Amino acid sequence: MKLVMAVIQDKDSVRLSQALIKENFRATKLASTGGFLRAGNTTFLIGTDDTQLDRLLEIIKDNCKSREQLVAPMSPLGGSADAYSPYPVEVEVGGATVFVLPVEAFHQF
Amino acid sequence: MKLVMAVIQDKDSVRLSQALIKENFRATKLASTGGFLRAGNTTFLIGTDDTQLDRLLEIIKDNCKSREQLVAPMSPLGGSADAYSPYPVEVEVGGATVFVLPVEAFHQF
Amino acid sequence: MKLVMAVIQDKDSVRLSQALIKENFRATKLASTGGFLRAGNTTFLIGTDDTQLDRLLEIIKDNCKSREQLVAPMSPLGGSADAYSPYPVEVEVGGATVFVLPVEAFHQF
Ligand code: NI
Ligand code: NI
Ligand code: NI
């Protein structure tokens, strides 16, 4: 038994939840902010048998991994005018920080 | 020393808090949603000496265990009319998903 | 690799965040309430190499340790009139409850 704590971006949260449910992993989500990733993240707690750990990590990677995305430029109102560009810009989105913790005992009541 | 992470239903949260305080366990609560249990759950973090672990698990079980409860039927406004029943229905409430984690060191500053 | 879970008071949260960033520790914050400390606390999750653990604990201690502080008395509207004092009172603020957890694997995707 392992407890996987995965900090991911909010925007990947629904997709990861659905992928976990589809393969019978059960997770709980903790509201979290800042730090490991850009603003707006969620921490998933997922319990798993040792035999399913690799598959679980694969699901997290497939649904949350860091990638580049073209986004419409932010309005200059939101930042400095210098940084404003009228063209879509490439930003890095997603990403997951994952801790696998040993579990000494697991109970369901 | 162990760290117990217990995901329980919101409706059992006050009762569990009071039972823990009464027996001198100290806990912190994390806002959490979905997954292990039906919507509206809370994750308790509880530190405990090894010698008190069994008692702690007993308290969690006694206050949160899954049980059947008669509830007034939901209004058809809240769901499909087909599912509506004028009689109280039995639903499963409560339940706890509990991970016992080893702790390498514990500090209070 | 260790995962440090530190429950601290909200009022020390910004200061701790800044100190961690300055020394390249990466943390995520979980909204939490009650229990280990007085109302209004935050749980930090911080991953660290074993070699940096002592420094991390020192940073937490330096920024969050329990200390006495003079505060203006609360208005009697906020409590019982009996408890009201026109003079500043010493209260204990801060404090940190810290669990150091072993990590079996760590991934960044
Ligand atoms: Ni058991
Ligand atoms: Ni110590
Ligand atoms: Ni690896």
Say how far apart CA C27 and CA B10 lie, in whole Å: 27
* Residue of B33, B43, B97 with shortest CB distance to A108: B97
Q: Measured between CB atoms, does C5 come within 8 Å of chain A?
A: no
* Per-residue confidence (pLDDT) for residue A30, from 0 to 100: 87
**pLDDT tens digits along A56-69:** 999 999 999 888 88
Res. A39: pLDDT tops 80 = no
> What's the C109 CA to ligand 3 centre distance in angstroms?
10
Q: Predicted ipTM?
A: 0.80
Q: Which residues of chain A are within 8 Å of residue B19 when distances are taken between CB atoms? A: none
Per-residue pLDDT band for B27 (boundaries 50, 70, 90) equals very high
Q: Measured between CB atoms, does A30 come within 8 Å of chain B?
A: yes
Percent of all residues in chain A with a pLDDT value above 70, rounded to a whole number:
82
Q: Measured between CB atoms, does A29 come within 8 Å of chain B?
A: yes
Residue C51, phi-psi category: left (phi > 0), alpha (psi -120 to 50), beta (remainder): alpha
- Quick one: CATH architecture of B2-102? 2-Layer Sandwich (3.30)
Q: Measured between CB atoms, does C19 come within 8 Å of chain A?
A: no
Nearest CA in chain A to B61: A109
Nearest CA in chain A to C106: A99
Contact A107 B95 (CB under 8 A): no
* Per-residue confidence (pLDDT) for residue B88, from 0 to 100: 81
* Per-residue confidence (pLDDT) for residue A81, from 0 to 100: 55
* Per-residue confidence (pLDDT) for residue C78, from 0 to 100: 53
> What's the C50 CA to ligand 2 centre distance in angstroms?
15
Spatial CB neighbours of C24, under 8 Å, sequence gap ≥ 6: none
**pLDDT tens digits along A2-31:** 999 999 988 899 999 999 999 999 899 887
Nearest CA in chain B to C64: B109
Query: In CATH, what class is A2-72+87-101?
Result: alpha beta
Fold held by C2-74+85-101 = Alpha-Beta Plaits (3.30.70)
> What's the A10 CA to ligand 3 centre distance in angstroms?
23
Contact status, residue B33 vs residue B3, Cβ threshold 8 Å: no
Element (H, E) at A8: strand A2-9
> Which residue in the block uniquely carries the two structure tokens 């932010």?
A74
